Structure 1
Amino acid sequence: MGLARTGPGDVTGELPASADPRWSAYGAGTAEEYDWWSWRLCGMACLRMCLAHWRLPVPTAMELAAGCVTAGAYVRREDGGLDGLIYAPFARHVEENWPLTAECRPRLSVAEIPQLLTEGRLLMLSVHPSVRELDPSPPGRGGHLVLAVGATPDALLIHNPSGFPGETQEYARVPWADLDRFYAGRGVVLGLRGDDGDGA
C-alpha cells in the first residue's frame, strides 16, 4: 500500500507549505490554496491510501476535499477556519461514491481494532499528532487522522500522513501500551463492499 501523504516536505512546519514545489500535484489551483489546505488534509491522505489499497481510481487530495466540502464533511467557517473531518457525512459520502463500506464510529475501543484489521478493514483513527514521536506526555488526544493497516501482538501499525519519511510514515509501530495516550477512541472503519474487506 503506497502512502499518499499530504503536507509540505518539511513536516516540522519550519518551511511554509507554499514553498513545496510539488504543490500542484495535490490538485490545488495555487500555492496559497495548497498552503491553506495542506495541514488539514490528513483525512484525505487516509482516504487516498484506502482507494489505492483497493485498486480504485485515486483523485487528488484537493478533489477529494472539494467533494467532502459539498458533502458537509468539511465546513469552512467565516473566521477562516475549518470544521472537520466530520465522520458521519464523510462516511455517507464515501459509500455514495465508491464501492466501499464506511462506518462512523464515535466510540471505537482499542480492543476492537485487531479484529477489524484481521477482517481486512482499514481504520481511520483520531490520534494526537505527536504520535509520530511517541511523545511521553502529549497535550491531548485526537486532532489528527492516521490509517491503521495492521497489528502485531505488541503494536498497532499505522500509515501516518505527517510522519517522518523513512521513520514514522509507513507501517509505523505504536505499541499498544502507548496508544491510549494519543488515541481519542473514535474513527471511521472502511472496507470493500461485498467482500471481507481485503482487496489486496
Structure 2
Amino acid sequence: MAARAGPRAAVIPPYFGQWESAQRIGEILAGTLRAEDDPLWPRSGAAGAADYARWAEHLCGVACLRMALAARGVVPPRAFDLAREITTRGGYVVHPDGAIRGLIYAPAVAWLREVPRMAAEVRVDVAAHDVPAFVAGGGLFIASVHPFIRWPDRDPPSRGGHLVLVFGAQDGALRLHNPSGDTAASQRDARLAVADFARFFAGRGILLPG
C-alpha cells in the first residue's frame, strides 16, 4: 500500500510591502522619511508622489493580494494598478472628505474569482486555532489583525485594522508576511504562536484554499 502523503510544506511567497521601499518602511512609520520621498514610489503606478503618500498606508490588502498572486505563479499587477481595479469594483471607497475605506473583502474575492480565476472566499467568525488548517496543503489566508502585530511583545488596543498574509504553520506557530513590518524580521516569514496571533486577530479574512 502506498504511503499517504502528508501536508505540503509551506512555500514562502514573494514579499511585497505596502510601500515600495520595503527596507525603509520602518523609517516611514517612524516619520523620519516621508512616504512621498520614498525613492521607489514611481514603480508603484501611482499618479504622483502625493497620490502615493495618500494611498500607500491603505494598501496592506493590495500587498497581500499581490503576494497571493505571486505565490500562485501569477505575475501581480503594480500596486496602484491593482488598487484602481479593485476600487472600480467597490473594494475601496473614497469618501467625499477624502477618507479611504478598504480593503473590502467581497469585491476583492469577486476579483480573485473572475480575473486570475482563483478559488477564494470571505471567512468570518474564525478562531485563531482554525487558521493552521486553512493554510495546510498550500492554502493562503489574508487575515485581519491589529498593526501592532509587528511588535508581538506589545498588547494591541484592539483587533483588526490591518491585513497580513498567513501562508504556513509550523511547530505551533503561524508563518506570515506583514506588508507593514518595520524590520526585515517582522516583514518576511514572521512566526507567531497561535495564542499570540489571537491577541491581534479580528476573526475574519480572505481564504484562498490550497
TM-score with structure 2 setting the length = 0.87
**Unaligned stretches of 5+ in structure 2?**
1-12
**1:84 Cα offset (Å):** 1.1
Between structure 1 and structure 2, the one with the greater Rg is 2
2:63 corresponds to: 45
| Alignment check: 8 A CA contact 1:107 1:187 kept | no
Displacement of 1:135? 4.1
Identity %: 42
Residue by residue over 1:146-191, the C-alpha shift from the partner in whole angstroms, topping out at 9 and shown as x without a partner, is: 0001112321111000113321111101111211210000000014
**Aligned residues between the structures:** 192
C-alpha RMSD over aligned residues? 1.3
In structure 1, distance between residues paired with 2:154 and 2:39: 34
Which of 117, 120, 125 is the aligned partner of 2:138?
A: 120
Aligned with 2:25: secondary structure? coil
1:10 to 2, 25, 47: 25
Runs of 4+ in 1 over 6 A off after TM superposition: none
* 2:35 and 2:53 in contact (8 A); partners too: yes
Give the equivalent residue in structure 2 for 1:177. Answer: 195
Any unmatched runs of 5+ in structure 1? 192-196
Mapping of residues 1-200 of structure 1, within 5 Å: 1-7=13-19, 9-11=24-26, 12-14=29-31, 15-191=33-209, 197=210
Between stretches 180-189 and 156-165, larger displacement belongs to: 156-165
Letter in 2 for 1:57: V
CA distance in structure 2 between the partners assigned to 1:133 and 1:174 by the alignment: 11
Contact 1:124 1:147 in 2 (8 A): yes
The one-letter code sitting in structure 2 at the alignment partner of 1:6 is Q
Answer yes or no: is the 8 Å Cα contact 1:132–1:164 preserved in 2. yes
Mapped contact 2:91–2:104 kept (Cα < 8 A): yes
